[in-house]
Structure 1
Amino acid sequence: MPTLIHDLLLSPVFELLARIVLTSFFWVAGIFGLLKFEVMVQAIKVHRLPAPEWIVVLMVVTELFGSALLITNFANLGWLGAGALGVFTLLSIPLGHAFWKLEAPRKMEEFQIALEHVGIIGGLMCAAALTV
């Protein structure tokens, strides 16, 4: 491996940037949930889940605090933030992207989103491992 790349990969700035990029979807979604709370509640109601307001509150808290913990590794709890975001992402597959219940072509679109979620979970697993 070239020295320049080696040094970049070990740089604290690179590590911080990687954590910010990895969590970008979550903190952007959390901010959106704060600013457009009722829109998010309506989106949850479409799935006929109970207590949609509380679900949105839990989503926003998980997205923002999980991201903050992973980005900052506050009190060496970055692993917890990564884990919370990973579980959140895993739960969103059957709750929001249940491709097995759909017909083509929507089935394939939701399946691809589910696979993207699995990839993000893998990235979060790597991030959790790197915070200990």
Structure 2
Amino acid sequence: MLTKADIPSWIAAILSWPALLPISRIALVSAFLIGGIQKLSDFNGAVAEQAHFGLEPAWLWAIAAIIVELSGSVLVIWGRFVWLGAGGLGVLTAVAMFTANSFWSMEGHDRFMALNAFFEHLGLIAGLVLVSVLSIRPQSEKSHEAFHDLQPSP
């Protein structure tokens, strides 16, 4: 448990900034938003991407990816049904982890790159879980007052 001595006042001030959580939610899903928009604007490229990773029928996987990336991102940013949006994005990320980053079947530099990407994706899934956990906390715990007790007394 954090105490006043565990956190510098300037850090507590940053963490209590009201816009931090919405900006962080946008940043968390930014890759999905950009990916969904790119796939939507170049559907043939999206289909080719799915086929490249062996996901068939590729057109169906491309449509599913677009829907999940865009709708999941909107739900996380909106702050409603975050569990649904983040859950969909997490499942999509897990599919990508195992299809695009099969480091266990690679060697050398390719293995190194795939291993890094695999665990970066795992970290992203953890971030989606955390944003879901935060979304179910009572609003008072998310407010500026939540960090007031962490700030050192003058």
Partner residue in 1 for 2:151: none
Q: Which of 1 and 2 has greater Rg? A: 2
Counterpart residue type for residue 20 of structure 2:
F
The structure with higher relative contact order (CA 8 Å, sep 6+) is 2
CA RMSD of aligned residues (A): 1.4
Counterpart residue type for residue 22 of structure 1:
L
Is the counterpart of residue 94 in structure 1 residue 101 in structure 2? no
Where 1:12 maps in the other structure, the secondary structure is coil
1:27-60, CA deviations, whole angstroms, 9 ceiling, x for partnerless residues?
A: 0100001011101111211223211011001001
How far apart are 1:125 and its partner, in Å? 1.1
Q: Could you tell me the TM-score, scaled by structure 2's length?
A: 0.78
Number of residues of Structure 1 aligned to a counterpart in Structure 2? 130
Counterpart residue type for residue 114 of structure 1:
F
Partner residue in 2 for 1:82: 86
Q: Could you tell me the TM-score, scaled by structure 1's length?
A: 0.90
Aligned positions of 1:1-132 closer than 5 A: 1-74=7-80, 77-132=81-136
Gaps of 5+ in 2: 1-6, 137-154
How far apart are 1:10 and its partner, in Å? 2.9
Provide the C-alpha distance between the structure 1 equivalents of 2:132 and 2:19, rounded to a whole number of angstroms: 18
Provide the C-alpha distance between the structure 2 equivalents of 1:11 and 1:112, rounded to a whole number of angstroms: 32
Counterpart residue type for residue 69 of structure 1:
L
How far apart are 1:115 and its partner, in Å? 0.8
Which has more helix, going by share of residues?
1
- Aligned identity (percent) is 31
How far apart are 1:66 and its partner, in Å? 0.6
Where 2:54 maps in the other structure, the secondary structure is coil
The range that moved more, 118-127 or 97-106, is 97-106
Gaps of 5+ in 1: none
